[in-house]
Amino acid sequence: MTHGVQEIEVKYRVGDLAALEDALARRGALLSAPVHQDDQAYAEDGWTYAQPKIGRSFARLRTQQGRHLFTVKKPVDNAMACLEHETTVADREQMHNAITLMGFHPTVRIVKTRRTATLGDMTICVDEVEHAGAFVEIERTVHGQESGITVQEELDGFARSLGVALERTSDTYDSLVRAALTPA
């Protein structure tokens, strides 16, 4: 088991955004105004998409509403159960240079519009991702030794209880965007 703070999530492709919005509203989850996010994903030098993500560190540089956030994630149980650390940075270009100097390489740019809601201890993110489509992420932050798999089963139960057609995916946005942009 892993100690520390973990972000545990489940992700679904959404076929009918209006139906999802209605189902969330009926549960009291009112979505925020849309926010534009511009993310650059990074992987450790030597890592490729043909390799597993568990146990490897990945970085992200996000610009949102004029702020730059630097995030490092390390998948524990699977790619959606990660140790995560995040902080604000002043200069995106300088941080990009620092990330590459630390031994990471840029992988994929992810641009999306996100609306969020909080319901109990869950954060719900409804994302429209360029090149990949509409998704909903349901996440929870856990401390200590709680099993990521167990939390994902609970979050999946909530998603299924919404009564909306959702297609679960275990892929992260960088993998989904990369797949959409890679010729078959």
What burial class does residue 151 get, using C-beta atoms within 10 Å of its C-beta: 0-12 exposed, 13-18 middle, 19+ buried?
buried
Instruction: Read off the pLDDT of residues 16-35 as tens digits, 9 standing for 90 and up.
Output: 999 999 999 999 999 999 99
Closest CA to 167 of 8, 20, 17, 14: 14
Task: Please give the model's pTM, rounded to 2 decimal places.
Answer: 0.89
Kindly state the helix (H) or strand (E) to which residue 12 belongs, with its residue range.
strand 5-14
**Are the beta carbons of 129 and 7 closer than 8 angstroms?**
no
Instruction: Read off the pLDDT of residues 51-86 as tens digits, 9 standing for 90 and up.
Output: 999 999 999 999 999 999 999 999 887 787 888 899
pLDDT of amino acid 127: 97
